[in-house]
Amino acid sequence: MARYKDVIETTEQFRSIMGDPIELVTRKTLSHLDRHCGVFIERSPFVLLASSDTDGNFDVSPKGDPEGFVKIMDKHTLAIPDRPGNRRADSIENILHNPKVGLIFLIPGKTETLRISGTAKIVRDTDLRTSMAVRGRSPEFVIVVEVVEAFFHCSKCMIRSKLWQPDHWPSLEGLPRLAETMVDAGKLELSESELHTLVMNDEVERLY
């Protein structure tokens, strides 16, 4: 038995309700990075990287560093340093099998976002890696993205969520620490306190 009623299954069904986008919206899409995109990327300290494997299983990975950490190689190419993480490397594993990616750049306090889609490759070019060093440490890998599409996304989601308004932020009280979630999910022999200490040390010692 179907769980939901009135499930939309075709583009025609969807568009009969939604309607078509106006020309003003469709014409804002670029096939390259213009000067506005460049300024935004240079100011952004945070980007979300979406990727998927060949079976269509998606991952979205947050990437953050000092503003301008994503390097603009030319108007068609971006380079994103891959900093030390937990070695799952979901994004890199996906890209090696399916190079199509999506990016959303954010700037704290700015309500618009920049969306980019393209194709990615994983490189270890020494000069490029060295140019992205922080605290004397270069990334082991760089994700190079060839831009296919770029456009700015309107402010409505930020206005609705009040994301950049601290007075409206939800309370953090009662939220689990990362260590608690890992112990519960993995049925680990380590105590939450022991794992929390390891996590905190990792965030200090392996930031770069």
151 and 174 assigned to the same domain: no
127 and 87 assigned to the same domain: yes
Instruction: Establish if 4 belongs to a structural domain.
Output: no
Total domain count, the chain: 2
User: Sign (positive/negative) of CA torsion 148, 163, 156, 42?
Assistant: negative
Instruction: Establish if 5 belongs to a structural domain.
Output: no
From the list 86, 105, 102, the residue with the least C-alpha distance to 94 is 102
**21-47 mean pLDDT:** 94
pLDDT at 40 over 80: yes
87 and 179 assigned to the same domain: no
114 and 90 assigned to the same domain: yes
**12-36 mean pLDDT:** 92
54 and 141 assigned to the same domain: yes
146 and 54 assigned to the same domain: yes
| Cα three-residue angle 20-23-27, rounded to 5 degrees | 120
> Which domain range does residue 174 map to?
170-205
Which CATH number do you get for residue 69?
2.30.110.10
> So what's the pLDDT on residue 100?
98
pLDDT at 194 over 60: yes
149 and 180 assigned to the same domain: no
